[in-house]
Amino acid sequence: MPNHVNSAVYTLIDNHGNGVLTRWLRNNKNVNNKEALFKLFDKIVVPFLYKDGKGKFIPVSELVMLRNKQRNAMLGTLRRKKGRGKTGPNILDEIDINAKSNGDFRKALKILDGCSSGNRATRYRELVWEISERGTMGENLLHMCLLHSTDKLKYVARELIFRYPKLVNDIFISEEYYGLSPLHQAIVNEDVQTVYFLLRNGADVRQRCYGSFFCCEDQKASRTDSLEHEWVDLDPSTKYVGQMYWGEYPMAFAACAKQYDCFRLLKAFKADPNLKDTNGNTVLHMTVIHNLPEMAQLAYELGGKLSIKNNLGFTPMALSAKMANKQMFELILDLEKETLWTYRDTICHAYPLSGIDTVDEITGHLNSYSILSLVVYGESSRHLNFFEGLLEDILERKWESFGRKRLFLSLTSYLIYLVAFYIAFMTREIRKYRKTTTHTSYNDTSSTMYNLPQCYLWNYEEREGLYYQKTRMVCEIIAFTFALIMSGLELKELMQSGQHRWRKMTTAFPEKALYKLSLQIVLVMMPIRLSCIYHENMAVIENVLAIISALFSTVHFLFYCRGLKFVGPFVIMVYKIIVGDMFRFFLIYLIFIISFSQSFFILFLSCERENIVNNGTTTIVSQEERFENILQTPTQTMMRMFLMSVGEFSAIYKNIHYCKSVLATQGKIMFLIYELLVTVMLLNLLIAMMTRTYEKISETHKEWKRQWAQVILMIEQSLTPQERLMCLLNYSRPLKADKSQRGFLVRKKLQHKYSSHRTKI
């Protein structure tokens, strides 16, 4: 395949519409003279065709190698990728596929393809236009006619197909447009007549377009080839972003181009809307990606299935939830609902819970790809719009079924543990010590030292009339037993829900993760206390862990505040500010702190030397006017810089003022610059960033609903599969005769044409 603009096919028609064929059309008055046109074809077209237009079967591996070579020519050396698999000679070169004696050729080809299902070849592709005589995009004359799509060239395209029928399925073979067929082109041109003509003349409705131009933007870098098949291997993880990502099949192209007539024509010619592209997406998935509600309804009416999952496990409805497309979600929801009864102005609908609820209807296990899970843990602000209607009703029933009871039970047990934990440390008493007195004869003085025993925490002896130490012992037992039980329950939950989902849930609640860590610290403190007899520092280690555990245990209160309407958004603000604003701020802040701290450290060293030199030569000054080096070490200097940034700068400036070094003036300038850059500018920048985060979250009035929903799903994860199924039976009803399929009933009272009142059943 040539890579230059002087390809032979451009002598017939070039990219500007000029060439031998266009000049003949301009000069020939009787364009409809087919005999003259066919003679022209025999003269200028036949030399470019395999076997005078009868076609030739080319191994797919050869086409893939050409495509891979062209891709690597466009990439850098480090990004080049070779095709996988093996290639060999074309054993069909010497076979006349049109001879009468070869009536079983298709059967033999099927055997060569590995007995693949259907009549489609997987290792050989029939081409009509020679590979070496194509344009830079891998196009032929028919493609160029449809590319310009003028009336005369469309007439020529039809006559080309009449004369050489197999050209109708000849495709582009370049990396960028590989697989693009005349049928795809006609759909993109919005030419219904040409689409009908191509279909009548044998156009393949299952031809796939794999070109990089029609690929998702975030998958283009991951495109790799295999010599064993024709399609392109892609990284499955994608956000489906791409203006020309149209789903490969002609029917998907028609849907994305909003060509309703072409879509119906393709269906009439046996096109299947449920065929999957490389990402596993069907036509209904593509309508969700491109937000085409009318086309989605048409595809559903013409046989599109809503239960098909793509490579990432998303049905069309789940994909709409993942992409926060509420319009498409409500449309698909209406397509799936069943109307049970209608009485006057009241109507009752049943919505299938399969794929919507987090609980599997049969096993009781949790579904990470459920609509509810995708919406509740969605990161977009548009997901907040989903907390109205059906999903909100389901969450309320979950809250009534198990959420409220389990949450208050969890809060009660947590308060008992926290009170016992605090009492255990507040009642510690240090009074058992050994007193040793030493005397010196120099000035008849004595010193007394108090030595605490290494294992003083094991002492539970009481003073008369007091019960503090016995109370401490009881509270320590309660706290340790509670931590042991909670750790066992957490391990059970991990085994039930799986490591991936457990990690996802834990990271969604940072305060709960810290609480779980504090429980592990409490368990570790027991063997450390037992080890106090071996080293005196064991008691110190235990005290350090106790301080950390007390801090982590207390922040768990934020978990219970999340679901409250008047507190929940503020909890999220704290998280967002810490993770987002303060993290970015401290990266910049640290740079200024390190740079200025070293400068001030050198300055104060110079001032200290000058002070030592002039100590004996200068007049006596008061203690208040004497220089004192308060920046003894680099770490101490950094701490002083931090104190300066929050307003404690008098000590620094005072010592710079009394410095006798020649660098004192430079120090005052540095002090002024630091105050302007760090204290004034950076701190006000942090305040502005936090204000923006606050306003952004406060504008989302439904944020508390998301937090409330996350709390419910966290509680649901702690239930056993049997408990989840029992709760599911409480807020759902069986659909028709199949009791394993559950539905959620919603009763609406129609008030007028455009509004309704929802009542859960």
pLDDT score of 114: 52
Say if residue 174 is exposed, middle or buried (CB neighbours under 10 Å; 0-12, 13-18, 19+): buried
C-alpha–C-alpha distance, residues 138 and 458, integer Å:
84
Contact yes or no for 523/529 (Cβ under 8 A):
no
Res. 680 pLDDT band, cuts 50 70 90? confident
pLDDT score of 455: 74
For residue 362, the one-letter residue type is I
Q: Is the pLDDT of residue 324 over 70?
A: yes
C-alpha–C-alpha distance, residues 658 and 624, integer Å:
10
| 727 in any annotated domain | yes
| 121 in any annotated domain | no
Query: Could you report the per-residue pLDDT of 2-28, keeping only the tens digit for each?
Result: 554 567 788 888 888 788 888 888 877
For residue 242, the one-letter residue type is G
Q: Is the pLDDT of residue 87 over 80?
A: no
Query: Could you report the per-residue pLDDT of 442-465, keeping only the tens digit for each?
Result: 455 544 444 556 677 777 776 665
| Shared domain check, 499 and 381 | no
- Angle of the 650-657 helix axis to the 664-674 helix axis, nearest 10: 160
Please identify, among 523, 557, 591, the residue that sits at the C-terminal boundary of a domain: 557
Burial 274-300 (b: 16+ CB within 10 A, else e): ebbbbbebbbbbbbbbbebeebbbbbb
Res. 700 pLDDT band, cuts 50 70 90? low
C-alpha–C-alpha distance, residues 742 and 720, integer Å:
19
Radius of gyration of the CA atoms of the chain, in A: 39
Torsion of CA 212, 215, 216, 218, to 10 degrees: -30
Question: Would the CA dihedral through 641, 645, 647, 650 be positive or negative?
Answer: positive
| 339 in any annotated domain | yes
| Shared domain check, 412 and 383 | no
Which is higher by pLDDT, 587 or 114?
587
Res. 753 pLDDT band, cuts 50 70 90? very low
Domain range enclosing 456: 406-557
Bridge partners of 760, per DSSP, are 746
Please identify, among 530, 557, 584, the residue that sits at the C-terminal boundary of a domain: 557
| Shared domain check, 415 and 494 | yes
DSSP helix/strand/coil, 734 = strand
Contact yes or no for 140/9 (Cβ under 8 A):
yes
Indicate yes or no: pTM above 0.95.
no
Q: Is the pLDDT of residue 235 over 60?
A: yes
| Shared domain check, 661 and 640 | yes
DSSP helix/strand/coil, 435 = strand
Q: What is the 3-state secondary structure (H, E, C) of 436-458?
A: EEEEECCCCEEEEEEECCCCHHH
* Count of the separate structural domains present in the chain: 3
pLDDT score of 539: 83
Contact yes or no for 84/49 (Cβ under 8 A):
no
| Shared domain check, 691 and 590 | yes
| Shared domain check, 477 and 350 | no
| E strand or H helix at 584 | helix 583-613
| 535 in any annotated domain | yes
| Shared domain check, 377 and 501 | no
CA nearest neighbour of 316 among 361, 264, 276, 367: 276
Query: Could you report the per-residue pLDDT of 364-395, keeping only the tens digit for each?
Result: 888 888 999 999 988 888 898 898 889 999 99
C-alpha–C-alpha distance, residues 66 and 58, integer Å:
12
Please identify, among 670, 699, 728, the residue that sits at the C-terminal boundary of a domain: 699
Mean pLDDT of 654-667: 82
| Shared domain check, 494 and 419 | yes
| 32 in any annotated domain | no
| Shared domain check, 520 and 486 | yes
| Shared domain check, 689 and 595 | yes
| 391 in any annotated domain | yes
| 187 in any annotated domain | no
| Shared domain check, 628 and 689 | yes
| 90 in any annotated domain | no
| Shared domain check, 527 and 468 | yes
How many alpha carbons lie under 13 Å from residue 746 in its C-beta half-sphere? Answer: 22
pLDDT score of 11: 87
pLDDT score of 77: 44
